[in-house]
Structure 1
Amino acid sequence: MRNSFKIGIALIITALLGCYPLTTTNKEWKIKDDPTELSKKEIYLKSLKQDPAKKYNVILIMADDLGKNEVSCYNPKSDVPTPNIDKISEEGVHFNNAYVTAPICSPSRAAILTGRYQQRFGFESQPMDLYPTNGLEYRMGSKNKKLGDWRVSTDHSYPGPGQIAKQGIPNSEITIAEIFKAVGYHTAIFGKWHLGNFNSYVPNSKGFEEQYGFYGAFSLYTPKHKTPGYVNFIQDDFSSEHQWNTARYGSSAIRENDKKVIEKEYLTFALRDRAIDFMRRNKDSNFLMYVAFNAPHVPFQAPQEYYDRFPEVKDSNRRVYLAMIAALDDAVGDIMKEVKDLGLEENTIIYFLSDNGGASYTKATDNGRYKGGKLTHFDGGVNVPMAMYWKGKTESMKFEHPISTTDIFMTSLINCGIAPPKDRILDGVDLLPHFKANTAPHDKIFWRSNHIEGMRYNNLKILYSERDQWMHLYDIEKDIYEEFDLKETQPEKVESLKAILKSWIKQLPEKPLWPRIMDRKFVIDGETYYFPA
């Protein structure tokens, strides 16, 4: 009887703990708009004027998870030629050290569109669709054998549905689209958003007059899993399974100005067509256009004709991946040709870049000799392919100095005769004077993602996790592949660099606006790391 009583009590306690809510409606994850900051933003946008002699168009073309090793102007031995991306690089400015502010899609994009380190406004991880709601869900999720190298984070407090709906670029932040719209430009985004899924956090509320694409992290490239004329590859990975199951539902649905639509064309080409149509309609006006391709992000789908270009590649996973990049390159070429045909080359600032490095965990790419890849803060994850082209204003050149993708914001504003906001710290700079003088735009570039902190300071790069107790120091100019760790031989440099980095971190909010849900395990050069996802 006594044993039965103990067992009963144990079962009750287990049940209570299992049902204990992890989501919370308390202040911990409550996202609130600051009326003062909103007022400052409104005053700035209403007061904006533009130099009439500098009314240039701006086109931002972004690839998704495209590493430098798969772009032939960076790697002539690449398995996939990218002549159209190469042409932008050859005729314009080819950046050899373009750094994103995070090795993962969403935070990286938040910085690009605001010109600020996204950590300044608490945007350190991807917006989430859901979290565990109680202890039982948490434990079941963390013990799921299908997770593989993915690991549920150790946070035990998560936002509720109302708080999840407010994850995205805060309403007090000013996007480049809001600024150009305020001075009379036509503005559009075609493709992946990934900066908020609801209400005031979607593109039409962030300065984009026209939107076509999807709000979340990924979407199918074809209407259904199996579409005639297309080749799929499904990785044996937890994240891949989730993406294929999501298909085009929820935040992966294709939308036009917030309304769900059915898109039958291969998505890379559908986005290209929308971009070309937008330019044709606005060739006699001024426009800002953001073409956010989701290629070559998973799920892997490619047209058969592109798949057939790579018969020598026996690995179907990589073959589909290369086919997706080839299709992306053709789409970029079609957009660039249209710019020329419309006579807009001298009147248009064009950027091409990737949001982070290649996703090596897909096993379709390995970023070559660059260490790490997407999710990691090694250069394989944060040093991305990037080029800028502005006929008559930028010379053909290779720019070796480190730049930040936050520079896109300031370079665009200054050269289009628009005064940037003065009520907040802007981290980007105008790049054009540095091209002419061949000087470094930045001596410091920072990273922070939860427990990972890092900085490039001139030729040195420090990267560490105090939680996981590891640290690296590299001379990144001499050792671009991060092979020779200097922390043991230069301890004084470690301490001085950490002090500079900690000083920057003091400027940031104490914690992000919302918690991440996953870490991913990587084994690199024999060492094990867990990077935030």
Structure 2
Amino acid sequence: MIRRMMSRRVVLASLAGAWRQAVGQEARKPNLVVILADDMGYGDIGCYGSPDVPTPNIDALAKAGARFTDGYVSCAVCSPSRVALLTGRYQQRFGHEFNSGDAAREALVGFGLPASATILPQMLKPHGYRSAIFGKWHLGVRKGFHPLERGFDEFVGFLEGGNDFLTEKTPKGRIAKVRGEGEAMPKKRRAVLLRGTEPVEDEGYLTELFAAEAVRFISENRNRPFFLYVPFNAIHTPLQATAKYLDRFPNIRNEKHRMLAAMTSALDDAVGAILTKLREAGLERSTLVVFLSDNGCPVMTGAGTNGPLNGEKVTYYEGGIRVPFAMRWPGRIPAGEVYRQPVVSRDIVPTFLAAAGIRPPVEFDGVDLLPYLNGRAGPPHDALYWRAGNGRAIRKGKWKLVEFGDTYSRLYDLSADVGEKADLSAKHPDVVSELRGMWKAWSDRMAKPAWPPRFREVTVNGETLNWEL
């Protein structure tokens, strides 16, 4: 009898402990994670149709939550896209319309996200969150623009828009030449690697380094709510990988594509390391994770693909702005959901704040996606808008209008022509007029660009335009 009573007490105590742990995880604010790929095309990974680059970890993330077929970013190039992601607002509200160029040009044009723009870690800090960024910043290098001055508590990465993944000291490093970048292995990284504000020397493969920092951060902060932002510079050029990853693709004959496949596989391993650490720490169900790319693939490199989409990075065709995009929160987002309404990276901040029960400090240009992923009818957005100098676009329902300057105007029905091949502007002048009017009304509310653009010629459907970036 005594043994039976003791056994019952042990069972009850165990159940009570498990209940307290479950209630504790439910009661505390959720952890928030953004994993951002760089220049990843719509067709570059397995769950979006890549035939020869398996990405089991990214695919598993998407399968365990929602995969967006029509997931957009706010800009077709790196820095403005990141502004929208971290503020939940159109980057044009801050004049941050164009990319930076190199560090010398940043200083010359006064590049950087102004202090008047509040970003996600600043919104979270008063509510007990610890925030970290491991990777590419690209929102300013001058004093006042550093991540640690913008709400982040930890930073390991680089401030500029690009960096080398390895150096000549990295074991078994390999490179593939792209657009005259050179065939010599770099003696040192082109951008200084920082821990906080201090330069650090590390000859390891950069994707692995950022993943290791993310895993450490999760382990050290498992008992408090955190925001983890991991903006990898993979799979942006330069095309650099180690033999460990290249050896996984012996049958890919295109040297550039093989290198990109290796870089993508390294990124997928990094995503797997982050997800594994969340599971091991018992944080899987209390963590909302988003994976996406900052813009589409630059087809000009000859390495990647935007799959069925037309255009590429820099353009406002689908290949420049529709990206791999997935969201996971076990128990809160149905597993295996394929969501087909247009969503945009500006939705991430409103969704995160809603998940954390935090009142929005400003009016966002995005929405909380959680109700829509749990059955709310209708599209989250009436329309989505894009602008970069002369290049512009609007999507409303099935219709997409792409314009450039005063004479280039193309209308597409994305429900029948996702590749944007058949211009319907002559057949539907009323739709063109409506969309153009909506776009102008939106554009008139935005600020003017705070610095001048650079230019890149890109050919789409046989027509070459000098797009601004």
Specify if TM > 0.5. Answer: yes
Residue of structure 1 equivalent to 2:43: 69
Give the equivalent residue in structure 1 for 2:269: 330
Secondary structure, counterpart of 2:229 in structure 1: strand
- The 5 A counterparts of 1:96-495 are 96-129=69-102, 161=107, 164=109, 166-224=110-168, 227-237=170-180, 240=181, 248-249=189-190, 252-396=191-335, 397-422=337-362, 425-436=363-374, 437-467=376-406, 469-495=407-433
Once the two structures are superposed, the pairs formed by residues 495-510 of structure 1 within 5 Å of their partners are 495-509=433-447
Q: Is the 8 A contact 1:192 1:218 kept in 2?
A: yes
- 1:366 positional shift: 3.1
Structure 1, residues 331-372: CA drift from partner, whole Å, max 9, x if none? 101110111111001111100000011111111123222101
- The one-letter amino acid paired with 2:467 is F
1-side partners of 2:183 and 2:433: how far apart?
A: 42
Counterparts in 2 of 1:62 and 1:324: CA distance versus 1, 3 Å: same
**Contact 2:158 2:193 (C-alpha < 8 Å) held by counterparts:** yes
Question: What do the CA deviations read for 1:255-311 (whole angstroms, capped 9, x no partner)?
Answer: 110211111211000000000000000001111000111111111111102111111
Is the Cα–Cα contact under 8 Å of residues 223 and 262 in structure 1 kept in the other structure?
A: no
What is the SS of the residue equivalent to 1:178? helix
Does the C-alpha gap of structure 1 residues 53 and 243 become closer, same or farther in structure 2, counting only changes over 3 Å? farther
The CA distance in 1 between the partners of 2:130 and 2:318, in whole Å, is 36
In structure 2, the residue matched to 1:523 is: 459
How much does 1:246 deviate?
10
Is 1:79 aligned to 2:52, yes or no? Answer: yes
Partner of 1:46: none
Which of the numbers 427, 433, 449 marks the counterpart of 1:512? 449
Question: Cα 1:336–1:130, aligned 2, differ >3 Å: closer, same or farther?
Answer: closer
Equivalent position SS for 1:322: helix
Letter aligned with residue 181 of structure 1: K
Letter in 2 for 1:529: L
Look up the equivalent residue of 2:166 and give its one-letter code. T
d(CA) in 1 for partners of 2:465 and 2:334? 41
Cα separation, 2, equivalents of 1:438 and 1:292: 32
Aligned equivalents of 1:410, 1:440: Cα separation in 2: 16
The aligned runs of 1:30-49 (5 Å cut-off) are none
Whether the aligned pair in 2 keeps the contact of 1:70 and 1:79 (CA below 8 Å) is no
Q: Secondary structure at the match of 2:403?
A: strand
Aligned to 1:139: none
CA–CA separation in structure 1 for the residues paired with 2:343 and 2:95? 22
How far the C-alpha of 1:108 sits from its partner, in A, is 0.4
SS of residue in 1 equivalent to 2:48: coil
Could you tell me whether the CA contact under 8 Å between 1:117 and 1:406 is conserved in 2? Answer: yes
Deviations 1:395-415 (A, max 9, x none): 020000000110000000011
SS in 1 for 2:422: coil
Q: Distance in 2 between matches of 1:243 and 1:94?
A: 40
In 1, Cα distance between equivalents of 2:349 and 2:184 = 31
Q: Which residue number in structure 2 is paired with residue 58 of structure 1? A: 32
* Preserved contact between residue 356 and residue 384 of structure 1 (Cα < 8 Å): yes
Identity over the aligned pairs, expressed in percent? 38
Instruction: Tell me which amino acid in the other structure corresponds to 2:300.
Output: Y
Give the ranges of 4+ consecutive aligned residues of structure 1 lying more than 6 Å apart after TM superposition: 242-246
Distance 2:167 2:426 in 1: 54
**Alpha carbons 1:92, 1:394 under 8 Å: kept:** yes
Is the partner of 2:257 in helix, strand or coil? helix
1:408-452 CA-partner distances (Å, limit 9, x unpaired): 000000110111114xx4101100111122431102000000111
> Could you tell me how far apart the structure 1 residues matched to 2:315 and 2:187 are?
25
Displacement, 1:529? Answer: 1.6
Structure 1 residues 231 and 385: CA distance shift in structure 2, 3 A: same
Distance in structure 2 (CA, Å) of the matches to 1:130 and 1:169? 15
CA deviation digits over 1:360-402, x for unaligned, max 9? Answer: 1111123222101111111111001010000111102000000
Q: 1-side partners of 2:324 and 2:468: how far apart?
A: 23
| Deviation for aligned residue 1:53 | 3.9
Distance 1:438 1:336, change over 3 A: farther
Q: What stretches of structure 1 of length at least 5 have no aligned partner?
A: 1-51, 133-158
Aligned partner of 2:313: which letter? Answer: K
User: Which SS does the other structure have where 1:330 is aligned?
Assistant: helix
Question: Does the C-alpha gap of structure 1 residues 242 and 442 become closer, same or farther in structure 2, counting only changes over 3 Å?
Answer: farther
Asked if the contact 1:190/1:274 (under 8 Å) is kept, the reply is yes
Matched pairs, number: 442
Answer yes or no: is the 8 Å Cα contact 1:218–1:243 preserved in 2: no
Give, as a single letter, the amino acid of the residue that structure 1 aligns with 2:277.
E
Give distance in 1, aligned partners of 2:333 and 2:208: 29
Contact 1:128 1:167 in 2 (8 A): no
TM-score normalised according to structure 1 size: 0.80
2:28–2:225: 8 Å Cα contact kept in structure 1?
no
Aligned AA (1:498):
R
SS at match of 2:43: helix
How far apart are the structure 2 equivalents of 1:181 and 1:222? 34
Give the Cα separation in 2 of the matches to 1:244 and 1:184.
44
**Root mean square deviation of aligned Cα:** 1.9
- Cα distance in 1, alignment partners of residues 93 and 188 from structure 2: 33
Between the aligned partners of 1:247 and 1:477, the Cα distance in structure 2 is 48
Contact kept in structure 2, 1:219 and 1:243, CA below 8 Å: no
In structure 2, the CA distance between the partners of 1:203 and 1:241, relative to structure 1 (3 Å rule), is farther
Kept in 2: contact 1:193–1:216 (CA 8 A): yes
